Chains A and B, each alone.
Chain A
Amino acid sequence: MSTRRTFSRPARLAAIAPYVWMALFFLVPFGFIVKISLSQTVIAQPPYTPVFSITDGWAAIRDAFAALSADNFRLLRSDDIYLLSYLRSIVVAATSTAILLAIGYPIAYGMARLPRRWQAIAMLLVIVPFWTSFLIRIYAWINILQHDGLLNQILLALHLVSQPVVWLSTDSAMYLGIVYSYLPFMILPLYATLARMEPALEEAAADLGASPREIFWLLTFPLSLPGVGAGVLLCFIPIVGEFVIPDLLAGSQSLMIGQTLWLEFFTNKDWPVASSIAVVLLVVLLLPLLLYDRLQRRQLEAGR
């Protein structure tokens, strides 16, 4: 009979720490949001009803539960603006992520092949923008892209255009801002996977007659898929909920879901509808996560 080695008490505590963290800072607040999403808006403080109060006894709590309803979710279905916002968010996130992958992969690949000490410098260059506030960097882009901004000045000086081009408040400007802001999140996981790859594998492939192109498509790319998955998720999910970049750089014709949420929360002061938007957004975002998890699991099982 084999005895299973039990972990020491500190080790066990360390193991549950992330769950405690998740419960305290994610599940509990999310529970609040779900509750608010099932409430009704009122002009009061707080601006929704019912309000749970433990001090009023059991009967009050039971009444409060009875007052909860899914009306807000029905509202989300009744007005196209919400569906369009969700769709636009997903389209923008998917397009941006595709552009990010197309730009980030070659950069990460190049970095992983630099001599060791140059890799550290390249890594620093990728991270350096983080030292300036994100908001300031976006405002800098506004400066560059505006009517008499740097970009138009250069284009005019080079006689590439005869009059200033409208950049600001366009989708192009928004994509530029998103790609610029999220590029490190795509590069870093890709770089981590590519740098870890054993160089002997590519040598073995070359030794067995694979051309550089075949080495990349048959070996390097398939082996870097975990990094691709991580980079795509790391970019796609926050871009879906992105609020600042579309608000500052894109036009106001169509909104992303983050902007719609902001409007409901701050302009309309409708906390319950804003909360229901957030709940639906989370469910929408869980989908790709679950899919990714499933794929990884299948890969693991196939390997067994």
Chain B
Amino acid sequence: MPVLRIEGLVKTFGSFRAVDGVSLDIHAGEFFALLGPSGCGKTTLLRMLAGFETPDEGRILLAGNDIAPMLPHERPVNMMFQNYALFPHLSAYDNIAFGLRRAGMARGEIASRVAEMVALVRLDGLEKRKPDQLSGGQKQRVALARALARRPQVLLLDEPMAALDKKLRESTQTELMELQRRLGMTFIIVTHDQDEAMTVANRIGVMDAGRLEQVATPRRLYEEPASRWIAEFVGDVNLFEGEVTGREPHRLTIATGDAGKIVAAAPLMPLSESAVVVAIRPEKVRLARRGPATDALSAHAINRMEGVVIEANYLGGTTIYKLKLDSGAIVRAAAANTARLDVDAYGVGQRVVAWFTPDDCVVLDR
């Protein structure tokens, strides 16, 4: 039984369908991320869960009860706002206690709950400060404590780390994950940052144009994208358009214009047409001065193509190479810099062989 069940949710603004029929189950104790480009409807979906938007169609079942007709202040969910929306005239303590006071909690109980929250988000000693006397990271923690104080059944987080700098964002992501695991609460986070979604979430729902395109674990989302759009949206990818020319058990042979013949693992779901696109992640494209001989490794039917390095971007942990194939197509390959002194690094202008196995390919509808 999911803690939150969303059924056929639709929200239109004029003629614009912001959320266009979304159904989704979220389980208790899950850290779920809604990922998508801006304007994809993820924030509207979250705002419907919080009660700030009324759905035109569909139901929102929280522990079995439809909360769609309930007003925001009646819902047992709380939200952490993008720019925190801390009350500027109240101290950190009063901000955290705000929701508890509205619930009519006894004074002593409020004090102990606030103290517990302050300890949880490590804000000790800052209770008396007003929001404009707090740093960005401290404000973020007050907002988190305030949203958690009422012990909501589901915590909604709207781009909670968008206002933090990169270093602080990374440490905050880790803290948020630990906190969620420790409390065993259900978190739903909205973000446009795929690294953030992959870091914190158990499952990710990718949205585009008001629809939920794929719901999967971070790994499956990256390695088994459901569509060409997802493959391009999540991470970096090389795409080769082609036609299926041969079908064997578990193997497809695809004739591509840019990369010649590619042998790929057959997808689990049958393709609707023979016009397909082959997706290969850059780190799965391996480089060699002389590729493994196709004959010797024919059992693996390794795909190989030759080209010239036209760009080599050293990024520290990895180097991204851009190759120009003989067909004129550009292929990106990411190589991990596993050795400090790399005599094998490729230089611009060097002729190399790029190769990958059939299992590294994902065949998608074009």
A residues contacting B by CB (< 8 A) are 198, 200-201, 203-211, 214, 218-219, 222-223, 303-304
CB contacts (< 8 Å) of A207 on chain B: these are 50-51, 72-73, 78-79, 147
CB contacts (< 8 Å) of A206 on chain B: these are 51-52, 71-73
B residues contacting A by CB (< 8 A) are 50-52, 71-73, 78-79, 81-83, 85-89, 98-99, 102-103, 130, 132-133, 146-147, 150
* Minimal beta-carbon separation of A204 from chain B (angstroms): 4
Give the docked Cα–Cα distance between A218 and B88 (Å).
12
CB contacts (< 8 Å) of B130 on chain A: these are 303
Give the docked Cα–Cα distance between A219 and B85 (Å).
12
Give the docked Cα–Cα distance between A223 and B90 (Å).
10
* Minimal beta-carbon separation of A211 from chain B (angstroms): 6
> Closest residue to A210 on the B side, CB-wise?
B102
* Minimal beta-carbon separation of A89 from chain B (angstroms): 34
> Closest residue to B47 on the A side, CB-wise?
A203
Task: Kindly identify which residue among A201, A214, A304 contacts B133, using a CB–CB cutoff of 8 Å.
Answer: A304
Contact A208 B78 (CB under 8 A): yes
Q: A206-B72, A207-B79 are in contact. List 8 more A-B contacts (CB 8 A).
A: A198-B85, A201-B85, A203-B72, A205-B98, A206-B51, A208-B102, A214-B102, A222-B89
Contact A200 B85 (CB under 8 A): yes
* Minimal beta-carbon separation of B152 from chain A (angstroms): 9
* Minimal beta-carbon separation of B186 from chain A (angstroms): 16
Give the docked Cα–Cα distance between A143 and B52 (Å).
50
* Minimal beta-carbon separation of B127 from chain A (angstroms): 15
Contact A303 B102 (CB under 8 A): no
* Minimal beta-carbon separation of A304 from chain B (angstroms): 7
Give the docked Cα–Cα distance between A208 and B133 (Å).
23
> Closest residue to A225 on the B side, CB-wise?
B89
Give the docked Cα–Cα distance between A26 and B132 (Å).
37
Contact A303 B99 (CB under 8 A): no
Contact B87 A219 (CB under 8 A): yes
In the complex with contacts A209-B99, A219-B87, A203-B52 CB distance below 8 A: yes
In the complex with contacts A200-B83, A205-B87, A211-B133 CB distance below 8 A: no
> Closest residue to B152 on the A side, CB-wise?
A207
Contact A208 B146 (CB under 8 A): yes
> Closest residue to A215 on the B side, CB-wise?
B73
> Closest residue to B96 on the A side, CB-wise?
A208
CB contacts (< 8 Å) of A203 on chain B: these are 50, 52, 72, 79, 81, 85
* Minimal beta-carbon separation of B180 from chain A (angstroms): 19
* Minimal beta-carbon separation of A271 from chain B (angstroms): 49
Give the docked Cα–Cα distance between A204 and B52 (Å).
10
Give the docked Cα–Cα distance between A215 and B103 (Å).
14
Contact A200 B81 (CB under 8 A): yes
> Closest residue to A204 on the B side, CB-wise?
B85
Closest 3 CB pairs of A and B: A208-B99, A209-B102, A204-B85
CB contacts (< 8 Å) of B71 on chain A: these are 206
> Closest residue to B131 on the A side, CB-wise?
A303
Give the docked Cα–Cα distance between A218 and B132 (Å).
19
Give the docked Cα–Cα distance between A127 and B82 (Å).
36
19 residue pairs of the A-B complex, CB under 8 angstroms, read A200-B82, A201-B85, A201-B88, A203-B50, A203-B85, A204-B85, A204-B87, A205-B98, A206-B51, A206-B52, A207-B50, A207-B51, A207-B72, A208-B73, A208-B98, A208-B150, A209-B73, A210-B73, A218-B98
Interface centre among B72, B79, B82 (most CB of A within 10 A): B72
Give the docked Cα–Cα distance between A214 and B72 (Å).
13
Interface centre among B71, B79, B82 (most CB of A within 10 A): B79
Give the docked Cα–Cα distance between A218 and B98 (Å).
10
Contact A201 B87 (CB under 8 A): yes
Interface centre among B82, B98, B103 (most CB of A within 10 A): B98
Give the docked Cα–Cα distance between A304 and B99 (Å).
25
Give the docked Cα–Cα distance between A131 and B133 (Å).
45
> Closest residue to A200 on the B side, CB-wise?
B85
Interface centre among A201, A204, A219 (most CB of B within 10 A): A204
CB contacts (< 8 Å) of A218 on chain B: these are 98
CB contacts (< 8 Å) of B73 on chain A: these are 206-211
* Minimal beta-carbon separation of B92 from chain A (angstroms): 13
CB contacts (< 8 Å) of B98 on chain A: these are 205, 208, 210, 218
* Minimal beta-carbon separation of B31 from chain A (angstroms): 20
* Minimal beta-carbon separation of B133 from chain A (angstroms): 7
CB contacts (< 8 Å) of B87 on chain A: these are 201, 204-205, 219
Give the docked Cα–Cα distance between A91 and B132 (Å).
39
CB contacts (< 8 Å) of B146 on chain A: these are 204, 208
> Closest residue to B98 on the A side, CB-wise?
A208
Give the docked Cα–Cα distance between A62 and B139 (Å).
65
* Minimal beta-carbon separation of A116 from chain B (angstroms): 14
* Minimal beta-carbon separation of A156 from chain B (angstroms): 48
Give the docked Cα–Cα distance between A208 and B95 (Å).
10
CB contacts (< 8 Å) of A200 on chain B: these are 81-83, 85
Give the docked Cα–Cα distance between A206 and B146 (Å).
13
CB contacts (< 8 Å) of B52 on chain A: these are 203, 206
Give the docked Cα–Cα distance between A200 and B89 (Å).
15
> Closest residue to B52 on the A side, CB-wise?
A203
> Closest residue to A202 on the B side, CB-wise?
B85
> Closest residue to A219 on the B side, CB-wise?
B87
CB contacts (< 8 Å) of B83 on chain A: these are 198, 200
In the complex with contacts A203-B52, A223-B88, A209-B81 CB distance below 8 A: no
Contact A209 B133 (CB under 8 A): no
Give the docked Cα–Cα distance between A303 and B134 (Å).
11
* Minimal beta-carbon separation of B102 from chain A (angstroms): 4
Give the docked Cα–Cα distance between A210 and B98 (Å).
9
Contact B150 A204 (CB under 8 A): no
* Minimal beta-carbon separation of A223 from chain B (angstroms): 6
In the complex with contacts A214-B102, A303-B132, A209-B150 CB distance below 8 A: yes
Give the docked Cα–Cα distance between A28 and B82 (Å).
53
CB contacts (< 8 Å) of B89 on chain A: these are 222-223
* Minimal beta-carbon separation of A2 from chain B (angstroms): 22
Give the docked Cα–Cα distance between A205 and B86 (Å).
9
